[in-house]
Amino acid sequence: MLVLGIESSCDETAAAVVGESGRVFSDVVHSQVELHAPYGGVIPELASRDHLRNAGPVVREALALAHVGWNEIDGIAVTHRPGLVGALLVGVQMAKGLAWANGLPLVGVDHLVGHLLAVFLRRSTESRDTAVHATVPEFPFVALLASGGHTAIYRVDGPSAAEIRELGATRDDAAGEAFDKVAKLLGLGYPGGPAIDRLAKNGNPKAVALTPPMGHTKSFDMSFSGIKTQIAARIREHGRPTSEVELAGLCASFQATVTSVLSEKLIKAAVHEGVRTVVIGGGVAANRELRERVAARAAEHGLSAFLPELASCTDNAAMIAYAGLIKLRAGERDGWDLVATSATSLPRETRKGRGHR
Ligand code: KG4
Ligand code: ZN
């Protein structure tokens, strides 16, 4: 079975061809980072127009790189929630048109479910006939999803949204959002995660004392806006770092604080749930220190940690194709009335600014 995935929920236009057991045959991502850079954030109307320009070429390239024609594709999966509605609409309408024209089944995928299942993707340059033998996590597992728009810990009993339960989430900013906002304060550009990750590598994580937000509370809820405020206050008082050492120290201190909260909460949640496996996903899962901390703390607790390959962490269509493949295999289909919507289908326990309901 081969599924074409299409993703356009935010500022990446992406298409991918994925097969059984998560084999990635192609994965094309067109980033709009440069388009939005002058504005310091994503401008929804510009995003929609750029998706419109690039969706066709990106799909054609995904098929060409996978060396497949339409007759070899068994279904189309498209992100239809959550995200910018105008951006999502471009992918959804394109998926409908392609499914109709080629007589293929169509299935809508929740972007967050895609991130949670990205760990099952297998990227390989070998031929399509070669089986993939890498190990994959078994259900149930506890997963940390940390991206630019969402940060939550889930118990995942199976691949469908109904089998995924939120154990805790950020009450304010997402972890990736904190990386982006701190990078902006430091004049490092957007997106901030990779820049801070790079600079933090050579910095002293004890250079600046920062209070870990909700680090010691028992709940699995998190908060990342306070740490950004601590850094903003510091910059107001002392100005931006003037030396490389100072900048690296600030980045290392910030990153250590955020990644320790994320990894500790993940491990605690797994122990609380009596689950033996932990998984991470989303753009922040590409962070070197988060990956090291999760692997180390899991080992200390005798848990297995599964980390997606780096290209599977940030937004891509391969994770959408795979999540769609599982739905299609289970006989699920969506009709021409599939709608784009800004909200996730995953149950949310935590509300921004309000904590547990
Ligand atoms: O999953 P993603 O590509 O898009 C969303 O669904 O939001 O995540 C993007 C986020 C951005 O906030 C970016 O700064 C962050 O992931 N990110 C990182 C790293 N790479 C990307 N954060 C920390 N370290 C990284 N290496
Ligand atoms: Zn994402």
For the segment 35-78, what is each residue's pLDDT rounded down to a tens digit? Answer: 998 887 889 999 999 999 999 999 999 999 999 999 999 999 99
Q: Which ligand is nearest to the CA of 192?
A: 1
Q: Which ligand is nearest to the CA of 147?
A: 1
Do 33 and 107 lie in one domain? The reply is yes
Query: Within 6 Å (CB) of ligand 1, which residues are found?
Result: 10, 147-149, 176, 179-180, 191-194, 197, 282-284, 286-287, 314-315
Do 167 and 298 lie in one domain? The reply is yes
* Residue 301 domain boundaries: 141-308
Do 107 and 190 lie in one domain? The reply is no
Taking Cα atoms as reference points, which of 276, 272, 294 lies closest to residue 285? 294
Task: Report CA-CA distances (Å) from 264 to 256, 268, 356.
Answer: 12, 6, 20
Do 204 and 280 lie in one domain? The reply is yes
Q: How far is CA 302 from its chain centroid?
A: 26
Is the per-residue pLDDT at 132 higher than 50?
no
- Find where tokens 């939120």 sit: 166
- Find where tokens 């120290």 sit: 249
Tell me, yes or no, whether 335 lies in a domain.
no
CA 84 – ligand 2 centroid, Å: 12
CA 309 – ligand 1 centroid, Å: 14
Do 33 and 91 lie in one domain? The reply is yes
State pLDDT tens for residues 217-267: 778 999 999 999 999 999 999 999 999 999 999 999 999 999 999 999 999
CA 140 – ligand 2 centroid, Å: 22
- Find where tokens 């050579």 sit: 202
Do 159 and 200 lie in one domain? The reply is yes
Do 300 and 317 lie in one domain? The reply is no
Ligand 1 atom index nearest CA of 111: 6
Rounded CA-CA distance 47/38 in Å is 13
In contact, 222 and 170? CB cutoff 8 Å: yes
Do 319 and 302 lie in one domain? The reply is no
- Beta bridge partners, 152, equal 145, 169
Residue 131 buriedness (CB in 10 A; 0-12 / 13-18 / 19+): exposed
Do 145 and 87 lie in one domain? The reply is no
The CATH number linked to 90 is 3.30.420.40
Rounded CA-CA distance 252/5 in Å is 36
What domain count does the chain have?
2
Tell me, yes or no, whether 249 lies in a domain.
yes
Do 100 and 157 lie in one domain? The reply is no
Tokens matching residue 162: 């109904």
